[in-house]
């Protein structure tokens, strides 16, 4: 991961992560996916870890690097979280 992302802090603007797009990603049944799990190390003496199993995101379409549709890619849409209760 260290060769894919660069983390920087810009004065008066905050912290950012710049990541390159992977040309040959790991696929699950020809679809892009990511796994988001959460872990908090609350203490090391005594050792206390809190864990939440998280979730998996999977694209709707098979991955095609030349596809223009976002349905074949995973994107972060900050501020545009879906309203799952409305489905």
Model confidence over 4-54: pLDDT tens digits? 677 777 777 777 777 777 778 889 999 888 888 889 999 999 999 999 888
Owner of token pair 């020809």: 30
Segment 53-63, tens digit of pLDDT = 888 888 888 88
Residue 54 main-chain phi, psi, to 5 deg: 75, -150
CA distance 12 to 35: 32
pTM for the model stands at 0.53
Q: Per DSSP, which regions of 45-85 are E strands?
A: 47-58
pLDDT of residue 84: 46
């Amino acid at each position: 991961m260290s060769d894919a992302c660069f983390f920087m802090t810009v004065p008066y603007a905050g912290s950012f992560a710049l990541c390159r797009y992977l040309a040959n990603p790991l696929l699950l049944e020809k679809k892009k996916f990511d796994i988001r799990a959460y872990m908090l190390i609350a203490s090391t003496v005594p050792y206390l870890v809190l864990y939440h199993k998280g979730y998996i995101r999977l694209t709707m379409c098979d991955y095609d690097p030349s596809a223009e549709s976002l349905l074949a890619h995973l994107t972060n849409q900050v501020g545009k979280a879906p309203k799952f209760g409305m489905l």
